[in-house]
Each structure stands twice: as structure tokens, then as C-alpha cells.
Amino acid sequence: MVWPFKPAWRKQIARLEISGVIAKPLAKRVLKALKLIEERKFPALLLRIDSPGGTVVDSQEIYGALAQLDSKVKIVASFGNIAASGGVYVAMGARHVMANPGTITGSIGVILRGNNLERLLERVGVSFQVIKSGPYKDILTFDRQLTEPERQILQDLIDTSYRQFLNTVATARNLPVEKVQSFADGRVFTGEQALALGLVDRLGTEEDARRWAAELVGLDPAKTPCFTLEERKPLLRRLTSPSQAMAPSLQSGLEWLEWELATNGQPLWLFRP
């Protein structure tokens, strides 16, 4: 016997936020949520992106999961204040992309930074004795300048990562690689400019994106609700009053510093304003 009523999930649009820097904790949460969306058989997903990008592999893993889910669920990516670099990359896993006219997007490219404290160490009289198995084992060490062969090795690494980014955007947006390359030089642009370039399909708000998602699966845009998948906060954080919590600006600054230190020397798909 076929049950005549659709489960509640099939009458709703799943909503998932990708907010902040894309790194392992965020990727883990998003991948878990995408699996849940597939299991519950939501007909559509509204993917809200407000991110400057982040680490290469975490962006690739989210993109891969979205591209796989796209065969079963209609996905509409909606750009918020900023959807740049890795934020753009993950959006390529959605077949339908909408941006606000004023969204800051683009920044397609790769960056790798290392710290050089050589002069500071000399001033305080600190030096390091290094024994290594090969000439490049301590590449990007902070106590000396890069050599030219090391610089070329890292440039080749960056170029390879850049080509991966370029080809994914070209394939997802059905654009010639040469066309993408003409604006994929690290520059940022608005959502309105992104539409003209073919990087997004439409301009509109998150509400417009929700209505679009409903239309794609034959649901009433005026009545179809969103079900937001959120990470459940740890019990301690839920019990702690706002007055006891750290100031948001300080918390944000410490988190950014921690992330900077953790990703030092890694290729990043990240917009750094």
C-alpha cells in the first residue's frame, strides 16, 4: 500500500548556512547536514553563503558533496554580504545561484603566506640548527628567506590549485576557461557584475532564492517554509549567560588569530580584505 501523504520534510525546503571562514569544523558540520538532507528526502535546499572562503581541501569537500546531492535535490545558492574565493567555489556545487546586487564576490584565486622573522631573530640573537633529509624539507620556515628554487616550487603548487579552481568554475557555469580566466585574477566584484560575467544566474534576496527553490520543485512559493539545519550548541554555551560570555569582537579576533596560525603556509582560497 502506498501511503497517500507526503512526509513533512518533502513539503519543506532545507536551509543551510555556510558562514565565516571555511575550515575543518565548518566543513564537518556542513557535510553532516548535507547527508541529513539526503536521508530526509528534502526536495530542495536553500544554501545561504556568507563567507570569504578558506582552506582549499575543505572547500573542495563541500563542493563535492553538493555536486553529488544536486542529482537528488534542487539546490539554490544565495549569496549574502560576501561570497568570495572558496565561498564561490562551494557555490559551484549548486546548479542555481543568486546574489544580492551588492554582494561582494569573486576573488577567484589562491594565496599562500608564510612569515619571515629572520631580522627579528637576528636582533634577539636567536638562530636555528637544522638537519634535514632534503634541500626543501624546511621550505617556508620562518627563520630565513625563500630561495628561488623554493619560490618556484610553491608557485607551481599555487598554479595547480588555481587551475583546479578555474576549471571547476568554467564547468559549473558552462563558460569557456578563457572567459573565466579574464576575471579570475583575484579581483572582487559586486553581485550585479557577477551576473554580467555569468558567475550567477539571478539577482535577489534570500527570500527570492527561497521562492525560486520552491518553484523548482513544484511547491507553493507563498506557503512553503524553510527548515534550517543548525549545529546544536554545547550544553555549557547554552547555559552560559551573555554577560558571562566573551565579547563577540574579542572572540572573533581570537578565532581569526588562531586560524591564521593554523593555516600558515597552506594554500588558501580566501579573500583577505
For residue 96, tell me if it sits in a domain: yes
Q: What is the CATH number of the domain that holds 175?
A: 3.90.226.10
Pure H helices in 70-173: 86-91, 118-123, 148-172
For residue 148, tell me if it sits in a domain: yes
Domain span holding position 141: 8-232+263-270
Tell me what pLDDT residue 125 has: 78
- How far does CA 51 lie from the centroid of its chain? 6
SS3 233: coil
Q: What's the one-letter identity of residue 250?
A: L
SS3 210: helix
Measured distance CA(133)–CA(139) in Å, rounded? 12
Question: Nearest CA to 76 among 201, 231, 218?
Answer: 201
Catalytic residue among 59, 78, 85, 161: 85
Catalytic residue among 6, 28, 137, 233: 137
Measured distance CA(164)–CA(226) in Å, rounded? 33
Domain count, the chain: 1
SS3 218: coil
Cα-based angle 85, 54, 108 (whole degrees, multiple of 5): 15
Measured distance CA(266)–CA(56) in Å, rounded? 9
Residues of the chain with pLDDT under 50: 1-3, 5, 235-243
Measured distance CA(130)–CA(128) in Å, rounded? 6
Phi/psi at 202 (nearest 5 deg)?
Answer: -145, 165
For residue 116, tell me if it sits in a domain: yes
Catalytic annotation present for 72: no
Tell me what pLDDT residue 3 has: 46
Catalytic annotation present for 85: yes
Cα-based angle 256, 116, 51 (whole degrees, multiple of 5): 25
Grid coordinates of 140:
617556508
The model's pTM: 0.85
Measured distance CA(19)–CA(49) in Å, rounded? 6
Tell me what pLDDT residue 273 has: 63
- How far does CA 269 lie from the centroid of its chain? 8
For residue 249, tell me if it sits in a domain: no
Measured distance CA(188)–CA(183) in Å, rounded? 9
